Structure 1
Amino acid sequence: MKILRAAGYRSMPWKNGGGVTTEIAVSPAGAGLEDFDWRVSMARVEGSGPFSQFAGVDRTLAVLEGEGIVLDIAGRRPSPVTRLTAPLSFPADMPTAAALIGGPITDLNVMTRRSRMTHTVERLAVSAPVEIKTRARMTLILCLNGEITVPGTEPVRLGPLDTLLPGSDTASLLIQPVHDSTLFVIRIDSISGND
Structure 2
Amino acid sequence: MQIIRQADLVEKPWKNGGGITRDIAAHYNGETLLWRLSMADVDQDGPFSAFAGLTRVLTVIRGSGMVLHSPESDAPADYAQPVTFDGATPITASLTNGSIRDFNLMYATAHVNGTAETLHGSAQKSIGAADQTVVVHCITGQIDLAASGQLRSGDTAISTKEAVEISLTSESIALCISLTLPSE
TM-score normalised by length of structure 2: 0.90
Which residue identity is paired with 2:40? A
What is residue 18 of structure 1 aligned with on the other side?
A: 18
What is residue 71 of structure 1 aligned with on the other side?
A: 68
After superposition, give the CA deviation of every residue in 1:102-139 in whole Å (9 maximum; x if it has no partner).
Answer: 11111111101222222111111131333333345211
| Cα pair 2:43 2:98 within 8 Å, conserved | yes
Aligned pairs (5 A) from 1:169-188: 170=162, 172-178=163-169, 180-188=171-179
What is residue 83 of structure 1 aligned with on the other side?
A: 79
How many residues matched? 184
3-state SS of the aligned residue for 1:28?
Answer: strand
Q: Which moved more, 1:89-98 or 1:157-166?
A: 157-166
What is residue 5 of structure 2 aligned with on the other side?
A: 5
What is residue 142 of structure 2 aligned with on the other side?
A: 147
After superposition, give the CA deviation of every residue in 1:11-44 in whole Å (9 maximum; x if it has no partner).
Answer: 2211101111011111139x9xx95221011100
Gaps of 5+ in 2: none
CA root-mean-square deviation? 2.2
| Cα pair 2:4 2:24 within 8 Å, conserved | yes
Residues of 2 paired with 1:130 and 1:190: CA distance?
A: 22
Q: Cα gap change, 1:92/1:67 in structure 2, threshold over 3 Å: closer, same or farther? A: same
Q: Cα gap change, 1:89/1:136 in structure 2, threshold over 3 Å: closer, same or farther? A: farther
Residues of 2 paired with 1:187 and 1:173: CA distance?
A: 10
Gaps of 5+ in 1: none
Q: Sequence identity of aligned pairs in percent?
A: 33
The counterpart of 1:130, out of the listed 120, 125, 128, is 125
Q: Which moved more, 1:172-181 or 1:98-107?
A: 172-181
Deviation at 1:63, TM superposition (A): 0.8
Displaced runs of 4 or more, over 6 A: none
Residues of 1 paired with 2:146 and 2:111: CA distance?
A: 34
TM-score normalised by length of structure 1: 0.85
